[in-house]
Amino acid sequence: MKINQLILKNVTRLLRVLPEGQARIIRNLYNSVYSMRIVLYPSFLCNYKCPYCINNKQKIWKKYTRKMEHGWKDWIEIFNKLPRAKIYIVGGEPLLYPDLVQLINNMPRKHMVSISTNLSLPLDKFLNNLKRDIIISASFHPDTADTELFKKQVLKLKKHGFSTNVYVVAHPSIVPLLPKLKTFFEKEAGAGFNVDPYIEPDSYTIHRYTQKEIETIKKCRIKFSSNESPYGLDDNELKRCNAGSKYFIFASNGDVYACHSGLYLSNNKKLFLGNLFDGSFKPLKKVMKCSRPCHSCDMDFASVKKA
């Protein structure tokens, strides 16, 4: 097993069993190896239309076209100029981006690369053409995915030496399925199993679960104990955050946002930081104070604390 995958596997195990305060310390130490964390959307194109997907609900393509806006050489020029970073390639579905392998293989070695995929597309060619170590996270959508195909794909990743984490959004329709999914992916597929809270697209806040749903989620996600944020921070409380200075969202055309609130919420113009390709990108110079709600991805990747 390659070193990055071995480290990730052990860190993931720790994060799943430690109390949130201790888990956040471990998460921040792990992330501190890299001076920046970047979520990259090479495109928003996806072959799924999940009913709870925030990209679908907010019709993100009204702001950004569905087509591929930049090729891998354009992006590599950008990443050559940036400090050491951990780069999370997401979507949409990244495997629909035709230059994905070239982008990953030519990414400067100073960066660590991770992708999140729904595993619905052929994997063999992609895996066989990879020339560098990456981390692969798998997003499972039970109401859309071919469940048996997804399971086979997870096992295929394991065969290729990847320590894979499976992520499931706890939409109310999916919550009853979580315990069986956890058992399969952890015990039979040898994958990590992670439950993310469902973000209501209209209010951009965590869904208000019933007590029964909370008890089911608690069996699969130790940190989830109530309708409050599982990260120990309420949606609208004042927070100190390094988003915009050490953590960034790169949209498909090169627009940069401090976090997903900037990407999704139209009244958050202060979180827009310019464009990478026209030279207008300017990171924030210091940690910001913010009371906007946080997306679960931001809470995982940025350093967010009570103000």
Report the alpha-carbon distance of residue 209 to residue 177 in Å, rounded: 15
Q: What average pLDDT score do residues 77-84 get?
A: 94
Task: State which fold the 3-306 domain adopts.
Answer: TIM Barrel (3.20.20)
Amino acid (1-letter code) at residue 164: T
| Tokens encoding 113 | 């690369």
Which residue in 6, 42, 21 sits closest to 232, CA to CA?
21
Q: What is the mean pLDDT of residues 161-167?
A: 84
Pairwise CA distance, residues 306 & 131, whole Å = 41
CB atoms within 10 A of CB 118: 22
Its sign, for the CA torsion 32, 34, 35, 37, is negative
Q: Dihedral angle at the C-alpha atoms of 85, 89, 95, 101, nearest 10 degrees?
A: -10
Of 59-63, 109-113, 224-228, 299-303, which one has max mean pLDDT?
109-113
Closest by Cα among 174, 209, 211 to 193:
174
Share of the chain above pLDDT 90, in %: 43
Provide the pLDDT confidence category of residue 32 given band limits of 50, 70 and 90.
low
* pLDDT given for residue 261 in this prediction: 87
Predicted pLDDT of residue 3: 47
pLDDT at residue 226 in the model = 54
- Distance (Å, whole) CA 304 – CA 307: 9
